[in-house]
Chain A
């Protein structure tokens, strides 16, 4: 039996076998794009066009150097008008890039925008098969044939419009969250800013000075913090956490847990009388354990809101039921140990995620002995020790004896650029903060000898290279190119000896230092992971939140209406965080300004007669779109809340009754593509038919 005969005799795959289109085959236009040489350099586009011309329903097939150009689009419009084309196939790049372009294009020619099908000849063919030109051309023909077959079965859909609540939620009160909230509030939108700590400010509030200009971090941040707290459009929800987010762009229902701070915010004036009498002293997290605070506290003097918080873990009253000295001391009756957590509901239009980062914590018994040696500290600890409002009043000390260190070493790339611990990325700020801190130390104590052990110095920002130059020229800081291999401590004076290869000299060096500072990298925060799950955000391989497109949509997420700002997306410095926050605010403002937004009609529909109410779809849906309701004719039936549906098709693929159909991805459309993948020139592919034969024999 020859291959075509065998194909003719084959049984339908199943009941979803594409129906014959009969006499009403729609008129299809195929447009093959060269994409300059991106596609045409590998695929013979002329042959692809010739093959397309012969396909059933195709009334016109054209090639273009750039189909997305004005010229290319004009040709599509012309073909639609001249040949009466009803469905359009564009064989070019990924639909992620140009689907909106071509939908707009065919809309201009009077067609429904959803009567377009894109065949990806670039990412899925020419780019991956650049060494197999002939086979790539054959594959391109196959892909176009499949696309034409699907296009014939496309149905017109209408985009929906949903209203947008002009209120934004900013999660995270670091510099990025503060800036995004201020920008949106200044545009006139209502903003809720949720911060889990008692004060906003984030890591920037802990820093001493900022690179490359040497501005005092808190001096430039505090005015913004105060402005935010006083802004009429902003509601600051400090010491709070986002607990639940439901809904979709323009219409999110958010639940926020306001943790009990045991101090009424409306009554507390921040006078500090309570902390004066509190008998409990504990390490202050804000000073990373170098300083102390009371059990009722503000983390730092410039805290916003300037409201005290009771640390429930440490407060004597919660341990013994006694004390209450703070309650007696407070003249405003603000302290209330009976306070309970409170959950509030918010109606939100757009969300900005600015959940920030954590600094990498070196491992116990690691090479750099952070936990074992007193005089090995992290860079953030150094920031606190250099800070005028820090635990030492800005005087740098050796933790072992409180003396001023004479020789200081910085070790770069700790927790960054290390495949062993899984952090392959560069944290982007460590080179510059080490150089900046070296400068501050030199300014405090000009006699200090400083060496920086580095792998590569990345001084790429505005003014960075100039600072790098200054630190060598004016301050004489030494740069040693090599990653330290071994640290050992002198048990008597607690100095630390560093062994490292100076790779530029090809020599192993051993040097002693009084203080070793680990330039630790930035890692995704634990809180971010939780928020990411709550919001169904996607994560990049590095663990930070993934943006919708690395170049063209850097602040958007795959979820409409949710935007990213600051280090939650990737490590970045303060100017970049602020810039991104402003960009996120602008992106979030766009739908709120319009008060309505168009959402894709690519959702699913449920055929109630087929549904048996098993509820599998409700379990599998990542967006909570399907729900079980009482059917009209009795029994539980699935119903999909269209506004929540993202059209991912998980439910449609898993429905055992095939009661759920994903629009534009119906079984009929998908099977028609599969069928035409197996057919060539009206005949079954010999090799593939062979596989089928074998499969049948095995059955």
Chain B
């Protein structure tokens, strides 16, 4: 099995599997059911018409085809769905147009749930989550941003505000209680 690596957006590398032949060992028969368990609709009703791909703003820009991902789900090719689903912007245009009344966007969310449970988390998601825990926002505060804010006549970002500390503590408690810190591998950094 040959594997190629492809970069989509910053920090997200996807391992593309280039199988010449897909044999049964690569299929997970209950995958469609698993997606339903995580809130997606039944992908087996998809007619593969491709309307979702045509209306998808992401599909127009990068090599990501909503319909193919649904096809992988129908087929039970779990590993083929790795990575790409993170680029879905959940704009729900696919849902609006789908003649089979599936909600591909929610299937993508379900796929993210499944991936996270299995420990497959792209770095940019980890970074954003860590920032959220540390600073109460998903973008890390830095000097450059502070400078621009000052030029625009704006004050410091909230995370620098001493009164904001109790909010950060609340986030930390919640993150710890839900084991979210362990999930994204930062339990060392969360002090409760």
Contact = CB atoms under 8 A, between A and B. Distances in A.
Interface of A: 367, 413, 417-420, 455-456, 481-486, 499-503, 506, 508
B53 A485 contact: yes
25 contacts: A367-B97, A413-B49, A419-B45, A419-B101, A455-B48, A455-B49, A456-B47, A482-B49, A482-B51, A482-B53, A483-B54, A485-B50, A485-B54, A485-B55, A486-B54, A499-B54, A500-B50, A500-B54, A501-B51, A501-B59, A502-B50, A503-B50, A503-B53, A503-B67, A506-B65
B98 interface: yes
Nearest to B68: A506
A48 B100 CA distance: 44
A481 B54 CA distance: 12
A572 B55 CA distance: 32
Contacts of B50: 481-483, 485, 500-503
A601 B125 CA distance: 74
Interface of B: 45, 47-55, 59-60, 65, 67-68, 97-101
Contacts of B97: 367, 485
B100 A501 contact: no
A414 to B, nearest CB: 10
In the A-B complex, the 8 residue pairs with the closest CB atoms: A485-B54, A501-B50, A483-B49, A419-B101, A501-B53, A482-B50, A418-B99, A503-B50
Contacts of B48: 455, 503
B54 A419 contact: no
A503 B49 contact: yes
A456 B46 CA distance: 13
Instruction: Give the secondary structure class of A's interface.
Output: loop
Nearest to A499: B54
A420 B95 CA distance: 10
B69 to A, nearest CB: 11
A508 B59 contact: yes
Contacts of B45: 419
A11 B54 CA distance: 69
A462 to B, nearest CB: 26
B101 A420 contact: yes
Nearest to B54: A485
Contacts of B99: 413, 417-420, 483
A481 B49 CA distance: 7
A285 B183 CA distance: 66
Tell me which of B47, B48, B99 has the highest count of chain A C-beta atoms within 10 A of its own C-beta: B99
A486 B59 CA distance: 14
A236 to B, nearest CB: 42
Given A418-B99, A485-B97, A501-B67, 16 more contacts: A417-B99, A419-B99, A419-B100, A420-B99, A455-B47, A482-B54, A483-B49, A483-B51, A484-B54, A485-B51, A486-B54, A501-B54, A501-B65, A506-B68, A508-B54, A508-B60
Contacts of A419: 45, 99-101
A501 B45 CA distance: 19
Nearest to B95: A420
A420 B54 contact: no
A167 to B, nearest CB: 46
A369 to B, nearest CB: 14
Contacts of A502: 50
Contacts of A499: 54
Nearest to B47: A455
Contacts of B52: 485
B98 A420 contact: yes
B57 to A, nearest CB: 11
Contacts of B65: 501, 506
Contacts of A418: 99
A483 B54 CA distance: 8
Contacts of A506: 65, 68
A501 B53 CA distance: 6
Nearest to A502: B50
Nearest to B65: A506
A455 B51 CA distance: 10
Tell me which of B53, B54, B65, B68 has the highest count of chain A C-beta atoms within 10 A of its own C-beta: B54
Nearest to B51: A483
A423 B154 CA distance: 55
A530 B47 CA distance: 34
A417 B47 contact: yes
Tell me which of B55, B60, B98 has the highest count of chain A C-beta atoms within 10 A of its own C-beta: B55
A486 B55 CA distance: 7
B49 to A, nearest CB: 4
Contacts of B68: 506
Nearest to B96: A420
A503 B55 CA distance: 13
B114 to A, nearest CB: 23
B40 to A, nearest CB: 16
A420 B51 CA distance: 13
Contacts of B67: 501, 503
Contacts of B55: 485-486
Nearest to B101: A419
Contacts of B98: 420
Nearest to A482: B50
A502 B50 CA distance: 7
Tell me which of B50, B65, B68, B97 has the highest count of chain A C-beta atoms within 10 A of its own C-beta: B50
A485 B49 CA distance: 10
A544 to B, nearest CB: 20
Tell me which of B49, B51, B65, B67 has the highest count of chain A C-beta atoms within 10 A of its own C-beta: B49
Nearest to B63: A506
Contacts of B101: 419-420
A499 B53 CA distance: 10
B168 to A, nearest CB: 44
Contacts of B47: 417, 455-456
B22 to A, nearest CB: 16
A501 B59 CA distance: 10
A499 B50 CA distance: 11
Tell me which of B45, B51, B97 has the highest count of chain A C-beta atoms within 10 A of its own C-beta: B51
A500 B50 CA distance: 7
B119 to A, nearest CB: 29
A53 B67 CA distance: 60
B45 to A, nearest CB: 8
B16 to A, nearest CB: 13
Contacts of A485: 50-55, 97
Contacts of A367: 97
A564 B50 CA distance: 37
A57 B54 CA distance: 70
A499 B93 CA distance: 15
